[in-house]
A and B are shown apart, each in its own frame.
Chain A
Amino acid sequence: MSRIEKRFQDLKAEGRAALVTFITAGDPDIATSQSILDRLPAAGADLIELGMPFTDPMADGPSIQLAAQRALAAGASLAATLEMVAAFRKTDNSTPIVLMGYYNPIHTWGAERFAADAARAGVDGLIIVDLPPEEADELVPHLRAVGLDFIVLTTPTTDDVRLPAVLANASGFVYYVSIAGVTGTASASESAIEEAVSRIRRHTNLPVCVGFGIRTPAQAAGVARLAEGAVVGSAIVQAIADTIGTPATVTAPLALVEELAAGVRAARR
């Protein structure tokens, strides 16, 4: 059983949803980012999305764009991201890590070789923003071959006709992008999320995690009542940005994660 499958099974037994936290690998520098990453599970993160920095993050709002710029300026790279995961795995062999980002760095690495190297480092799955099902064939078989999940994004514009094709490649969980827009901007209403999640459930038995626009413990709790997971990214990344150059660069994002986790854990399903 994969770490992702095991984690959702355990959470189901606990009767609660997952808190999925996003940080950009290497933001604001690799050592600080590693400290934050290593402490995320203790702060309450159930799954971790680790952003692969890219120069042209077309689906991201300002917070995550700037995080990628900081990381790249500090020497982050795809190789450094895998090294961070491998270091994390020395102390945590149960928290799933999903890499999230854009396709070009993986294309450069070579899809097949990257899948093998990511699996070896302890990665559990990939979310590639600019690889829709129409182009996913060049990556997905390589992920399958090494037991990595391809986590698909569904959006408010993914209609019932298109959903089966999108979900055909899916494993691990389904990431529902709750707004048409970039990260860290608008938020969807709970009723819109509820409707969308129930629509996705008609097509798949995979857990559904909801992201984009979730910033507060109350919002995370609201989503946790409707789906198997709530994803928070920009708010955590902003907590890093707001404290750069102070000792709070590690503690501030973790404090936010603790609050978010308390919200999610209070929301019984």
Chain B
Amino acid sequence: MQSLNTYRAGPDERGHFGIFGGRYVAETLMPLILDVERSYAAAKADPAFEAEFRQLLSQYVGRPNPLYHAKRLTEAFGGAKIFLKREDLNHTGAHKINNCIGQILLARRMGKKRIIAETGAGQHGVATATVCALFGMDCVIYMGATDIERQQPNVYRMKLLGAEVRPVQSGAATLKDAMNDALRDWVTNVHDTYYLIGTVAGPHPYPAMVRDFQSVIGDEVRAQILAQEGRLPDSLVACIGGGSNAMGLFHPFLDEATVRIIGVEAAGHGLDKAHAASLSGGRPGVLHGNRTYLLQDNDGQIAEAHSISAGLDYPGIGPEHAWLHETGRVEYVSVTDTEAVEAFQRCTRLEGIIPALESSHAIAYASKIAAKLPADHLMVVCLSGRGDKDVATIARALGDIHLGGLV
């Protein structure tokens, strides 16, 4: 492992984490990107901004959410003591709302009236539509036609909240293509529109800004585990698509050398088949405003990702994860669709908690390693969202055709 004084200092002033990150956007967007950067720096230094953010997290989102000792999963896994960080209990049902609260406050501060966002599973779209309703802003959500099909409940929720959901037909009609169309909208409506990116990716300052807003997850875990167990956790496990719940959990612990940190990518049908594991199966490239690990062919054409989980179905990953991968500070592993579906069922049956398919990837990996660890090993798994939205997908995966059509 590369020896550093701190893993928490990045990015540099140009938005780089090592060789990753940066601002690879069209010139039309550059002045606006620089404006977002300046505005965020000013907001960060403003105690009133921080106070309003914290107040909304507390009274609107319902934070802090519990760090739950999952006794039945612990028993079933047969080793490490398992804790679930209950982001599923947030208003709107996932960690996405943390970031949306922060960015909508920034958009308002910048005088923007129109919000656009991309969404895969629809959780970020719902969270964005929610804060737009709360702040009275126009909201347009870009969502791949494939994802609209597999995440119908969330599509309807967004519409109820007053958002316009624009189906994206290009490419494989999933998250990557939704992000392309959101960028096309932004370049066209640059004068009045704010792009509320949902993960720790995109051009600087988004990866750092989204991480900062999501770090509330890790900050709470630190305080909660100290209160509950009197010491820091031994390991952290979180799923990664773009990687925002993982970065939010990991970042406050990066400089704690005793804490083992594990990010779980989606291996889809398997790493030798269709998958969405950018670090395990990709190499560095430039897409959507940043240099990072990407699934791509030998010509630099971006490959289609595959995961049963729409929220992980993206051929890239946040640039800070790419850097943490190369420095060796964080271990990145992967879990297949089948393993995730098994973990989904196990968590549901044993704990009475229906986890999102995304979060089920983290639970699946925890189940793989927990048995080899001692009973006093404290493992925190990020339950990044609830799984109600995935019920139809699960029914189809389990061959329950009747239910799959019903829900």
A residues whose Cβ falls under 8 Å from a Cβ of B: 54-59, 61, 65, 72, 77-79, 102-109, 129-132, 134-135, 152-159, 162, 166, 177, 180-182, 185
In the complex, the answer to whether B299 meets A180 with C-beta atoms within 8 Å is no
Chain A residues, Cβ within 8 Å of B28: 59, 155-157, 177, 180-181
B324 at the interface (CB under 8 A from A): no
* A158: nearest chain-B partner, CB-CB: B27
A104–B25 Cα distance when bound, in Å, is: 12
In the complex, the answer to whether B184 meets A108 with C-beta atoms within 8 Å is no
CB contact under 8 A between A106 and B187, given known A132-B27, A154-B27, A156-B28:
no
In the complex, the answer to whether A134 meets B32 with C-beta atoms within 8 Å is no
In the complex, the answer to whether A56 meets B23 with C-beta atoms within 8 Å is no
The stretch from B123-131, B241-249, B272-280, B282-290 touching chain A is B282-290
In the complex, the answer to whether B184 meets A107 with C-beta atoms within 8 Å is no
Question: Whole-angstrom distance from the CB of A130 to the nearest CB of chain B?
Answer: 5
In the complex, the answer to whether A135 meets B24 with C-beta atoms within 8 Å is yes
Chain A residues, Cβ within 8 Å of B26: 58-59, 129-130, 132, 153, 155
Please report which residues of chain B, range 248-305, place their CB below 8 angstroms from some CB of chain A when the two chains form the complex.
284-289, 291, 294, 296, 298-302
A239–B184 Cα distance when bound, in Å, is: 23
A159–B189 Cα distance when bound, in Å, is: 17
In the complex, the answer to whether A132 meets B25 with C-beta atoms within 8 Å is yes
B402 at the interface (CB under 8 A from A): no
In the complex, the answer to whether A56 meets B25 with C-beta atoms within 8 Å is no
A71–B180 Cα distance when bound, in Å, is: 19
- Interface of A, helix, strand, loop or mixed by DSSP: loop
| 15 A–B contacts, CB within 8 A, in A order | A56-B176, A58-B180, A58-B184, A104-B285, A104-B294, A108-B298, A132-B26, A155-B28, A157-B32, A162-B30, A180-B188, A181-B187, A182-B184, A182-B187, A182-B188
A185–B187 Cα distance when bound, in Å, is: 12
B55 at the interface (CB under 8 A from A): no
A159–B35 Cα distance when bound, in Å, is: 13
A164–B302 Cα distance when bound, in Å, is: 34
CB contact under 8 A between A77 and B286, given known A55-B171, A156-B28, A177-B27:
no
Chain B residues, Cβ within 8 Å of A107: 284-286, 291, 300
A158–B190 Cα distance when bound, in Å, is: 12
The interface size of chain B toward A, counting residues with CB under 8 Å, comes to 38
In the complex, the answer to whether B187 meets A180 with C-beta atoms within 8 Å is yes
B183 at the interface (CB under 8 A from A): yes
B residues whose Cβ falls under 8 Å from a Cβ of A: 14, 22-32, 170-171, 176-177, 180, 183-184, 187-191, 284-289, 291, 294, 296, 298-302
In the complex, the answer to whether A56 meets B299 with C-beta atoms within 8 Å is no
Question: Whole-angstrom distance from the CB of B230 to the nearest CB of chain A?
Answer: 47
Chain A residues, Cβ within 8 Å of B188: 180-182, 185
Chain A residues, Cβ within 8 Å of B302: 55-56, 104
A102–B183 Cα distance when bound, in Å, is: 14
The residue in A129, A135, A153 that gathers the most chain B C-beta atoms within 10 A of its C-beta is: A135
A78–B298 Cα distance when bound, in Å, is: 10
Question: Whole-angstrom distance from the CB of B345 to the nearest CB of chain A?
Answer: 36
In the complex, the answer to whether A108 meets B285 with C-beta atoms within 8 Å is yes
Question: Whole-angstrom distance from the CB of B297 to the nearest CB of chain A?
Answer: 9
Chain A residues, Cβ within 8 Å of B300: 54, 78, 104-109
In the complex, the answer to whether B286 meets A103 with C-beta atoms within 8 Å is yes
Chain A residues, Cβ within 8 Å of B291: 107
In the complex, the answer to whether A72 meets B301 with C-beta atoms within 8 Å is yes
CB contact under 8 A between A132 and B30, given known A58-B288, A104-B286, A107-B286:
yes
* A155: nearest chain-B partner, CB-CB: B28
In the complex, the answer to whether A134 meets B23 with C-beta atoms within 8 Å is yes
Q: Told that A72-B301, A182-B187 touch, could you supply 8 new A-B pairs with CB distance under 8 A? A: A56-B171, A56-B177, A57-B180, A58-B26, A132-B26, A132-B27, A134-B30, A135-B23
Chain B residues, Cβ within 8 Å of A104: 285-287, 294, 296, 300, 302
Which 6 A-B residue pairs are closest in the complex by CB-CB distance?
Answer: A108-B300, A105-B300, A181-B188, A155-B28, A77-B299, A104-B300
A153–B296 Cα distance when bound, in Å, is: 27
A139–B295 Cα distance when bound, in Å, is: 22
In the complex, the answer to whether B296 meets A108 with C-beta atoms within 8 Å is yes
The residue in B27, B29, B301 that gathers the most chain A C-beta atoms within 10 A of its C-beta is: B27
Chain B residues, Cβ within 8 Å of A177: 27-28
Chain B residues, Cβ within 8 Å of A154: 27
Contact of A58 among B14, B27, B183, B284 (CB under 8 A): B183
A134–B33 Cα distance when bound, in Å, is: 11
In the complex, the answer to whether A59 meets B24 with C-beta atoms within 8 Å is no
CB contact under 8 A between A105 and B299, given known A59-B26, A130-B25:
yes
Chain B residues, Cβ within 8 Å of A157: 27-32, 190
The residue in A56, A61, A109, A156 that gathers the most chain B C-beta atoms within 10 A of its C-beta is: A56
In the complex, the answer to whether B301 meets A54 with C-beta atoms within 8 Å is yes
Chain A residues, Cβ within 8 Å of B299: 77-79, 105, 108
* A182: nearest chain-B partner, CB-CB: B184
A227–B170 Cα distance when bound, in Å, is: 35
A180–B188 Cα distance when bound, in Å, is: 5
A85–B294 Cα distance when bound, in Å, is: 29
In the complex, the answer to whether A55 meets B301 with C-beta atoms within 8 Å is yes
A166–B285 Cα distance when bound, in Å, is: 23
A54–B176 Cα distance when bound, in Å, is: 13
Chain B residues, Cβ within 8 Å of A156: 28
Chain B residues, Cβ within 8 Å of A181: 28, 187-188
